[in-house]
Amino acid sequence: MIYRENGQFKTSYRADQQIFPILQDRAFMLGLSALALVAVPFGASDYMFRAILIPALILSLGAIGLNLLVGYCGQISLGAGGIMAVGAYAAYNFFIRVPQLNFLVVLILAGLCAAFVGMLFGIPSLRIKGLYLAVATLAAQFFTDWLFSRAGWFTNYTPSGSVSTPTLTMFGWAIDTPTEKYLLLLGLVFVFALCAKNLVRGHVGRAWMATRDMDVAAEVIGIRPMYAKLTAFGVSSFYLGVAGALWGFVYLGSWEPLAFNINLSFSLLFMIIIGGLGSILGNFLGTAFIVILPLLLNRIPASIGVHLSTATVSHLESMIFGGLIIFFLIVEPHGLARLWSIGKEKLRLWPFPH
């Protein structure tokens, strides 16, 4: 009864093209923003920040990047972790070699380096499609794994091969408490998500989706496949690179090449599949699912009074987690974002059936 768009008439195309054309959606988003900006910083515990909010925000940024490529442009990639590693190591090198750079500039530069590498590994997409391309992008993953563990220059010749970052400062403000990190990430993710949404509803986004849905027809309309695919790889890798830099600097603090191995690529892929391919909102839902579910599974046995050994708990966790993923893919292959929009459709009519 509350969620109705009756009487909300659009009198201009600009009003019709808003991200949230329905008043109730805008109110909901405003409330959510207020919650995230005011309530969470005061209410959340240190553990909440460290274990859930900070990684979830960074991973959702990475998921947006991967979704632009896989969900919008239809180019399957298994190299996301490798591209994130490029971003992280690029940021590290800019940070220690040119210390006077502002962290935001470092982030952008790291993103650009990742975009360059991503486009390089995207070149095979001009000739191969689907699963074959997925295998080709694996090369990005293994190449970066190898490069950053073998070439000492990238890690500044640290004997152990792991690098650690100094405290972040920005405009004379030291970002060291979890709350500050959270607020920084919130701001960045907000801006980047907005930009991603704008891209996918602009003409480049339509070029990506056209290439995904029917590449011959797209070409006949005048969309150059090379342009569409390489920009998708570039923008996607830029996002992944920024996410990688944040993952290293803000979440991990110190890391070794293994931190960006293929498991990370798979996690990101699961996030966008569960969240919903071709949806910006889906990235957040999918990330929340993947980050929070294991933590919940971990706590449930203890909270209902069943005491199991840690090994059993972790095995059970993997099994239930895998089962849930399969369940989701069968019940709703278009992900949580589709469930969300079906829910909204139903809500528009509630309490009537039609």
Binding site for another protein (CB under 8 A): 13-14, 17, 195-196, 198-199, 202-207, 209-210, 212-214, 216-224, 231, 235, 278
- What is the closest distance, in whole angstroms, from the C-beta atom of residue 195 to another protein in the complex? 4
Annotate 266-275 with b (16+ C-beta within 10 A) or e (fewer): ebbbbbbbbb
Between 9 and 13, name the residue whose CB sits nearer to another protein: 13
- What is the closest distance, in whole angstroms, from the C-beta atom of residue 132 to another protein in the complex? 22
Give me the amino acid identity at 86: V
Segments in 68-175 forming alpha helices (H)? 80-97, 103-122, 130-150
DSSP string, 272-300: HHHH-TT-HHHHHHHHHHHHHHHHHHHHH
Between 221 and 319, name the residue whose CB sits nearer to another protein: 221
- What is the closest distance, in whole angstroms, from the C-beta atom of residue 150 to another protein in the complex? 34
- What is the closest distance, in whole angstroms, from the C-beta atom of residue 205 to another protein in the complex? 8
Contact between 308 and 285 (Cβ < 8 Å): no
Between 220 and 331, name the residue whose CB sits nearer to another protein: 220
Run of H or E residues at 163:
strand 163-164
Between 224 and 299, name the residue whose CB sits nearer to another protein: 224
- What is the closest distance, in whole angstroms, from the C-beta atom of residue 221 to another protein in the complex? 6
Q: How far is CA 32 from CA 9, 120, 242, 271, in A?
A: 25, 39, 24, 21
Between 50 and 129, name the residue whose CB sits nearer to another protein: 129
Contact between 58 and 249 (Cβ < 8 Å): no
